[in-house]
Amino acid sequence: MNKFLLAWCLAYPLGAWAGPIEAGQPLPAPTLQNQHDQAWRIAPGTQLVIFAAGRIASNLVMGVLSPQPKGFLASRQAVYLADMSKMPGFITRTFALPSLREQPFEVGVSLDAKTLAEWPRQENAVTLIRLDQGRVMGHEFASTEAQLKAALGL
């Protein structure tokens, strides 16, 4: 293996990037960390991925999930994934991650803009990705608490 290829493989391990979300296809599974710096993956039985890319979308998710009891997401076969790659590192380390560590739910955290670059997103909205046995059934956007609560059966 040449030196360039070896360096590239070490810098960008297989599974680090998640490809596009396409209906009928398996959900690309990024390898990420949670807010506690532990390995995080989308569990096989997951039926709903709540994906927030941006401050307004994240605030919307936090407004709905924060008051819920521990185990709420798991009871709904749902996970929360936050793309925090556009946030300045100082803000992420000093404020965002410590705040997430206080929550009663786990959050998959992406700090690399390339990892989820091809995932669907809409400005100021949360992306809701529906799954069936790991396959994407479709996605929609929620821009209000009422829409997100309805998606979660609240």
C-alpha–C-alpha distance, residues 77 and 113, integer Å: 26
Q: Does residue 4 belong to any structural domain of this protein?
A: no
CATH (domain of 140): 3.40.30.10
Q: What are residue 78's DSSP bridge partners?
A: 48
Q: Does residue 78 belong to any structural domain of this protein?
A: yes
pLDDT of residue 51: 97
Q: Which domain holds residue 101?
A: 33-151
Total domains in the fold of the chain: 1
pLDDT of residue 5: 36
Q: What are residue 50's DSSP bridge partners?
A: 80, 128
Helix, strand, or coil (residue 35): coil
Q: Does residue 60 belong to any structural domain of this protein?
A: yes
- Location of structure tokens 């997103």: 121
pLDDT of residue 3: 45
Q: Does residue 10 belong to any structural domain of this protein?
A: no
Per-residue pLDDT of the chain (154 residues; tens, 9 = 90+): 444 333 333 333 333 445 678 899 999 888 899 999 999 999 999 999 999 999 999 999 999 999 999 999 999 999 999 998 888 777 878 788 888 899 989 999 999 889 999 999 999 999 999 999 999 999 999 999 999 999 999 9
Q: Does residue 25 belong to any structural domain of this protein?
A: no
**What secondary structure letter does DSSP report for 40?**
E
Burial class (CB in 10 A: 0-12, 13-18, 19+), 141: middle
Q: Does residue 95 belong to any structural domain of this protein?
A: yes
